[in-house]
Amino acid sequence: ILNVEQSPQSLHVQEGDSTNFTCSFPSSNFYALHWYRWETAKSPEALFVMTLNGDEKKKGRISATLNTKEGYSYLYIKGSQPEDSATYLCAFLNRDDKIIFGKGTRLHILP
C-alpha cells in the first residue's frame, strides 16, 4: 500500500518566524514529487515539481528539498506572512503512473 504522510497535520506560527514541514513517501519506484498550496476558498496552486534526489527549489520565501533515497521532502517558509496561511499538499508520483496526495499540513500564521 502506497502511503504519503505529511507532518505536522496543523501548525501555528507567529508572523515573521520561519517554519518547515515534512512530506514522507515511499523511497522506491520514485518518479516525481509535487508541492501545492491550497488557500481557503481557492483552488490548489502548484509550488514545485521535484524529480531528482538532492533537488532544492526556491520561490520567494518558500523553498523545498528532496531526498528520494530516504523518502522525504521538506518545505521551508522564511519570515512567515499572513498570506502564507494555507494547506500545503505534497503529491508523490511513481513509475507505475500512481499519484498519491498527502492529507496536507494546515498552516496558520498568527499576527
List interacting residues with other proteins (CB under 8 A).
4, 31-32, 34, 36, 42-46, 49, 51, 89, 91, 93, 97-104
Cis ω before 26 (30° cut-off from 0): no
Interatomic CA distance for residues 18 and 61, integer angstroms: 9
In terms of Cβ atoms closer than 10 Å to its own Cβ (0-12, 13-18, 19+), residue 43 is exposed
Q: Which three cell numbers stand for residue 93?
A: 508520483
Q: Which three cell numbers stand for residue 84?
A: 502564507
Taking the complex as a whole, the smallest distance from the CB of residue 65 to other proteins amounts, in Å, to 18
Nearer to other proteins, 99 or 110 (CB): 99
Nearer to other proteins, 71 or 102 (CB): 102
Nearer to other proteins, 33 or 77 (CB): 33
Closest residue by Cα to residue 4 from 82, 73, 69: 73
Task: Tell me if 67 sits within 8 A of 10, measured CB to CB.
Answer: no
Taking the complex as a whole, the smallest distance from the CB of residue 60 to other proteins amounts, in Å, to 16
Taking the complex as a whole, the smallest distance from the CB of residue 7 to other proteins amounts, in Å, to 13
Nearer to other proteins, 58 or 103 (CB): 103
Taking the complex as a whole, the smallest distance from the CB of residue 41 to other proteins amounts, in Å, to 8
